[in-house]
Amino acid sequence: MALQAIAFYILAAATLGAGLLVITARNPVHSVLFLIAAFFAAAGLFVLLGAEFLAMILVVVYVGAVAVLFLFVVMMLDVDFSALRAGFSRYLPVGAVVATILVVEMVAVSVGVAQRGAAAGATPLAPTSVTNAEAIGRVLYTDYVYFFQAAGMILLVAMIGAIVLTLRHRAGVRRQSIVDQTARTPAAGMRLVQIKSGEGLRE
């Protein structure tokens, strides 16, 4: 359909343009914002493919959580970009090798796809009547349940690791205990004193 083609070209151009601007922008905060734009356009491409669940998860996880942390770090750090660019010529050969490998891989994949079509040879995992969120759920929690659990364990270990690294118990710190505060009665918290006139309070 014509509308879909127009939407595809706009979104694809936006993804590529934003990706290019991520690496060319001088200000790191601008880079992160362009990265967010690239994620967003990629989510749009997912929607065009009919994978709306993946699109939303992409936005929630990458844009809503990961990129926020990126932005936090980049804004807090005082990154000196001229110092980073100083070693450009030294790192160029390594970068060029990596870039060449990636380009060759991508060209090979796209040629393969162009020759026999993306979905050729693939059988649908679920009847097409179910929504793709349901289809993913059915596969994820049955065939791939161990991988799913393993991914969960890895994330849990990472989380515990981060807590262990940053948690320190300092002695002598006064903390608020809300349970103690709400359990306090007037009898425990205050003392009524009758003060005789002219004598004042003596203790």
Partner 1 sequence: MGASHAGTFWGTPGGWTLLTAGQILLVAVGVLLSVVVVLYADRKIWAGVQMRKGPNVVGPFGTLQLFADAGKFLLKEIVIPDGADKLIFLAAPVFTVTLGLSAWAALPLAPGWVVSNINVGVLYLFAISSLGVYGIIMGGWASNSKYPFLGALRSAAQMVSYEVSIGFVIVTVIVLAGSMNLQTIVAQQAGWFWNWNVLGGGGWKNLPMALVMIPMSVIFFVSSLAETNRPPFDLSEAESELVAGYQVEYSSTPYLLFMMGEYINIILLCGLITVLFFGGWQAPFPTPFLKDWAPTLASLFGLAWFVLKIGFFFFMFAMVKAVVPRYRYDQLMRLGWKVFLPTSLVAVMLVAAWRVFGPTG
Residue 39: CB minimum distance to partner 1, A: 10
Nearest residue (CB) to partner 1, 60 versus 107: 60
Q: For residues 17 and 33, give the distance between their C-alpha atoms in angstroms, rounded to a whole number.
A: 13
What's the CA angle centered on 144, arms 142 and 149, to 5 degrees?
Answer: 100
Cβ-contact 38, 11 below 8 angstroms: no
Q: For residues 97 and 103, give the distance between their C-alpha atoms in angstroms, rounded to a whole number.
A: 10
As to burial, measured by CB atoms within 10 angstroms (0-12 exposed, 13-18 middle, 19+ buried), residue 44 is buried
Nearest residue (CB) to partner 1, 86 versus 155: 155
Query: Using the 8-state DSSP alphabet, how is residue 155 labeled?
Result: H
Nearest residue (CB) to partner 1, 2 versus 201: 2
Q: For residues 184 and 178, give the distance between their C-alpha atoms in angstroms, rounded to a whole number.
A: 10
Residue 116: CB minimum distance to partner 1, A: 30
Residue 147: CB minimum distance to partner 1, A: 20
Binding site for partner 1 (CB under 8 A): 1-3, 27, 29-30, 33, 36, 52-53, 56-57, 59-60, 63-65, 68, 71-72, 75, 131-133, 176, 178
Residue 186: CB minimum distance to partner 1, A: 21
Nearest residue (CB) to partner 1, 69 versus 201: 69
Nearest residue (CB) to partner 1, 68 versus 155: 68
